[in-house]
Amino acid sequence: MRRNRRGFRKESKYKKFLLVLIFCILLPVVAVYGGFYASRYVILPAIMWNEDEVKKETIVEDTQEKKVESKEESTKVEKSPSKSEGTEYAIKGMTIYGIQIGSFANMENAKIQLKELEDKNIMGRIVEKNNFKVIVGFGSKRETIDKIMPIVKEDFKEAFVFEQYIEEKKIIGENSDKEHFVKLNEINKKVFEEMEKIEEYLVESKGTDVELNSSGIEKNIKEIKGLEKELEDINISNKGKEFKEKYTNIMGEFTKSLSNQISSDNVEKSIIGFLDKYSKLHTNN
């Protein structure tokens, strides 16, 4: 009887051990498979769904932003200049030449040399560029200045050619002013062509026995007066009108000064006065 009980106990212990062993083996396997299936069919789909929703939201936001940008760009393209803005035009700039005989840190010293020139019947002008430069002669062509350089160097050994660039003048006008500004530039070009002819007459008479060509200068004055009339007839608007009126006054003063006395000194003085006023007209707003 005791033997049977012992045998039963041993068998019972063996079964318990076997069950524990099977449980220990199956538990990790079940956990692995359970985790695999849970990840594949529950967790991952949930994550993927969230990502899809985020992507959809991002796409929607990007689309909306692009639509807004596109709308803004189309607005910019379609936007036409308002009447208050106007259109920008330009009075062409130019280079004029002279002969520099002095350069000073202050205006007073420059004026002293200018007075010395006048005492020698030489007309000059002061150009403010970095400092105060004393300039004699005028020409829209370098060749004109080269002709009188030897004469000037007799009194001023260190003299050299000076280039002055008059920058173009920006002016706001109406869209309809385009042809008027074209005409204004044409007139301006012709004015300086006439002045160049006058300067050539002066060069011919300097340091020679050749008399100043008064009749030729009278023709130039007549041409400039005709250009002055053309300028007055231009029906330009806004700032263009202001420029036109000031330029017309400068031309009128120039022709009047020349008409009063056609002499070398007066002609040079008139040209210098014109250049100073014209330069300031381009520079000032």
- Between 142 and 132, where is the model more confident? 132
37 vs 175: CA distance, rounded Å? 76
**3-state class of 81 per DSSP?**
coil
What's the CA dihedral at 235, 241, 243, 249 to 10 degrees? 70
Cβ neighbour number for residue 210 with a 10 Å cutoff = 11
Length of the chain: 285
**154 and 25, same domain (yes or no):** no
Residue range 214-242, pLDDT digits in tens: 899 999 999 999 999 999 999 988 778 99
Instruction: From 143, 104, 149, select the one nearest 127 (Cα to Cα).
Output: 104
C-beta of residue 227 within 8 angstroms of C-beta of residue 191: yes
Residue 78 counted as domain residue: no
**126 and 34, same domain (yes or no):** no
276 vs 193: CA distance, rounded Å? 17
* Whether the predicted model's global pTM rises above the 0.75 cut: no
- Between 158 and 80, where is the model more confident? 158
**154 and 264, same domain (yes or no):** yes
Cross-strand partners of 164: 96
Domain that holds residue 247: 94-283
**109 and 186, same domain (yes or no):** yes
What's the pLDDT at 129? Answer: 82
150 vs 156: CA distance, rounded Å? 10
Question: How many domains would you assign to the chain?
Answer: 2
**277 and 246, same domain (yes or no):** yes
Phi-psi region of 208 (alpha: psi -120 to 50; beta: other; left: phi over 0): beta
**3-state class of 94 per DSSP?**
strand
Residue range 169-188, pLDDT digits in tens: 999 888 889 999 999 999 99
